[in-house]
A and B are shown apart, each in its own frame.
Chain A
Amino acid sequence: MALINFLKPKNKLEEGGRTAAPVHEDEGEPEKKCPNCHKDIPLSRLWSNGLVCTCGYHFRMKARQRIHMVTDKGSFQELFSSVKSGNPLLFPGYGEKLETMRSASGEEEAVICGEAQIGRQKCCIFVMDSYFMMGSMGSAVGEKIASLFEYAADHRMPVIGWTVSGGARMQEGLLSLMQMAKTSAAIKKHSDAGLFYIVVLTNPTTGGVTASFAMEGDIILAEPGATVGFAGARVIEQTTKKSLPKGFQTAEFVLNHGFIDSIVPRREQRKLLAELLKMHRGG
């Protein structure tokens, strides 16, 4: 129940506003503990700050909230919303799991695609949703992302994507693995047409998504503290029997190792993306 309450819109920001409106803090308002600074933060304050704690910790965010936060008001038009995964392998429990996820998250799949404007510049966007099976990539996620890049190539538009994913959706077996190749092929086509793709890695971006479209942007950004990696940390520990270095597989770690361009806090993304789009106008 607590989680459901947390998901409900609480203020202007969540409903689509972007400015930090003055916060009216009620007595006894629900609070959320920050896993980083361990302070209790009133939810309304958290929302008005884009779900970022005063200590800088970035809480996870639903895809639609992110779309409202980053795009020009009223500019978002959803595409391919009718594409859904089935249960092609008749994997035990997967059909039920999809139904539960759909009713709990209010979304049909783990990614939302569409056309929007950011700083009055047109672009295609995709935003993955960690509330839907931890953003795992099945056939529908691959299909929607590949379709979006094809659409963007046809209309000569840039693409901006936000990733969050535990990896491939194993309940779809090999079909989910093939989505890595399918999305990569569509991105290559878009790229070869001279078009621009920015990807923003959010917490966590791992597995098959890291090994495909998360690492294929012309510019790769990440949110502070986001986990970014290929193999799961626990699996690495078990395989190598070594303890992992501090800060392993964080956005800062991949930045230091040369795999991303920059770390950009959530509240600063809109401005930077608008600037980058402006510099790549016509691409």
Chain B
Amino acid sequence: MGQNPYDRVKLARDNSRPTGLDYIKNIFQGFIELHGDRRFGDDAAIVGGLAYLNKSPVTVIAIEKGHSAKERAMRNFGAPHPEGYRKALRLMKQAEKFGRPVICFIDTSGAYCGIGAEERGQGQAIAENLMEMTTLCVPIVSLLVGEGGSGGALALAVADRVWMLKNSVYSVISPEGCASILWKDPSKAPAAAASLKLTAEDAKSLGIVERILPEKDLGTKAFYERIRALLSEEIGKLSKNPDLIEKRYERFRRMGAVTEFDIASAATWPVACGNKGINYEHL
């Protein structure tokens, strides 16, 4: 298993990893898929519907990359269009209406970059999800299971808990994109991957995810059962939390690293960062 960050990016992108539907089928029972955004179409890159987690109904939403070449093309390689994000939001609002928790599985290189996606408001669709998810009155747990590509991943990750698989990555830009913008050289992607701090361990120490899920037994029965048990427990706890929305607000409100410039105490940063008093030197 590779240890440098770019190897981890390659692992996260590996076609043989379980995809969204594998998680849905193996963790939940009685999945019923629900299609369409009621506005334009049905995006095959995002799958959503109803299922049981143990014995409670939940809403599950997953970005699906597909396995075979044909299926991958049909799923647009897991790059959602605006209608995918709008379908996800529709299902979340439905979950809120019926008091069901929401569980999202995220695996995307990013929201699709295309003419139709821009014409139908990719930015607006993501923005609306970010805004609406902050006040959704039911628990939301999001799991990054492969690639967590920028805004296209965040649009399903404004959650009470965000977990990452050990070899998933979460980044503001792909290492290749970063290298070509900053250094005009996409072949410097490995250096960019190291600088971007995109591994699960980095995200956890930045206070952006709560839990890293081991994946030595990736795709086995035991692996899915472990996730099911963790989800059950966490959702049980979140469902009893009367301050769910405030806690979710605070969760994102404290993210970032800024200095308050003050001549009297100029050396006091970081004032606000992911974890109070975090030490970045080990990163």
**Contacts from A to B (Cβ < 8 Å):** 82-86, 88-93, 108, 138-140, 142-143, 146, 168, 170, 172-182, 184-189, 191-192, 207-208, 210-216, 229-232, 235-236, 239-240, 242, 244-245, 248-249, 253-254, 257-259
Contacts and interface: CB of A to CB of B under 8 A. Distances in A.
B261 A108 contact: yes
B114, B158, B248, B259: most-surrounded residue (chain A CB, <10 A): B259
A84 B272 contact: no
A85 B259 contact: yes
Given A236-B113, A259-B121, A208 B151 contact: yes
B219 interface: no
Interface in B210-231: none
Given A139-B257, A177-B154, A216 B172 contact: no
Interface of B is mostly: mixed
A181 B154 contact: yes
Nearest to B121: A259
Contacts of A93: 182
20 contacts: A84-B258, A84-B261, A89-B283, A90-B283, A138-B256, A170-B172, A178-B208, A178-B252, A179-B255, A181-B255, A182-B253, A188-B131, A188-B132, A188-B135, A215-B123, A216-B128, A230-B111, A235-B113, A235-B177, A258-B121
Interface of A is mostly: helix
Contacts of A186: 253
B196 interface: yes
Contact of B122 (A174, A211, A214, A248): A211
Contacts of A229: 118, 123
A177 B172 contact: yes
A231 B158 contact: no
B235 to A, nearest CB: 21
A188 B120 CA distance: 23
